[in-house]
Amino acid sequence: MKLLHIDSSVLADNSVSRKLTAQIVAEWSANHAGTTVDYLDLATQAPSHLSADSLGFRLPAGADLSDVQKSENAISEALVQQFLAADVIVVGAPLYNFSIPSQLKAWIDRVAQVGRTFKYTDKGPVGLATGKTVIVASTRGGIYSTSEGGQAMEHQESYLKVVFGFFGITDVRIVRAEGVSMGDAAKATALSAAQADVAAATSQKAANQDVATIAA
Ligand SMILES: Cc1cc2nc3c(=O)[nH]c(=O)nc-3n(C[C@H](O)[C@H](O)[C@H](O)COP(=O)(O)O)c2cc1C
């Protein structure tokens, strides 16, 4: 089983989501023998935001690409291959300004490729990255999950569920620490809730595990 571990927090050792993703990966590996881990740190290795040069993968096959477009295409291709190769993707996703860090959005913009992660049919879009499990380590300064107003304000968990669902991934598990900026007691409660989420998310089988076991 291949696990892709992605961090996107810019807070280095002070990051709550980085601690949670490290713990998720450790517990997943302990519970699922034979897991191999690939790591992507988007705080230091994020692709650039989309531009005329990096949109090459959306141009028609056979288009005459500049050297810059070719090298940007190679970056997108490596990222989409890394994503498609993974059975399980663990994503550290802090809430920044009601959404995800722009580094994580830049990664999504590179892997959202027609014909690779989704396609359009006469019946609408179809996800092509099916059978994967995603575990999101969601960290938030405030509390959003317990009220309709809060749920409407956050575009982090809700967005990630939409985008991974669009890619065909239905098994999206959330490990949540929210309220971490609301004082020591709230932070302790948040971290303790997250521990329970880690145990639940990492003790289940991967979405494709039964199929893989049968195939083996
Ligand atoms: C740039 C920035 C923007 C933030 N925006 C929000 C926000 O909109 N809502 C919120 O509740 N917390 C916000 N926070 C607090 C973070 O969600 C919180 O510190 C969380 O722990 C970040 O995850 P990390 O520690 O892994 O970076 C923000 C923090 C930073 C650094």
Predicted pLDDT at 61: 78
Q: How confident is the model over 8-13, as a mean pLDDT?
A: 97
Asked if residue 15 has its Cβ within 6 Å of ligand 1, the reply is: yes
- Check residue 168 and give left, alpha or beta (phi > 0: left; psi -120 to 50: alpha): left
Asked whether the predicted pLDDT for residue 160 surpasses 90, the reply is yes
pLDDT band for position 213 (cuts 50, 70, 90): low
> What is the 17 CA–ligand 1 centroid distance (Å)?
10
Distance CA 20, CA 35 (A): 18
Burial of 65 per CB tally in 10 Å (0-12, 13-18, 19+): middle
3-class SS letters over 99-137: ECCHHHHHHHHHHCCECCCEEEECCEEEECCCCCEEEEE
Tell the residue nearest (CA) to atom 3 of ligand 1. Answer: 96
Question: pLDDT averaged over the chain?
Answer: 95
Backbone angles phi, psi at 9, to 5 degrees: -70, 140
Q: Is the pLDDT of residue 44 over 60?
A: yes
The answer to whether residue 60 scores a pLDDT higher than 80 is no
* Mean pLDDT lowest among 63-67, 95-99, 115-119: 63-67
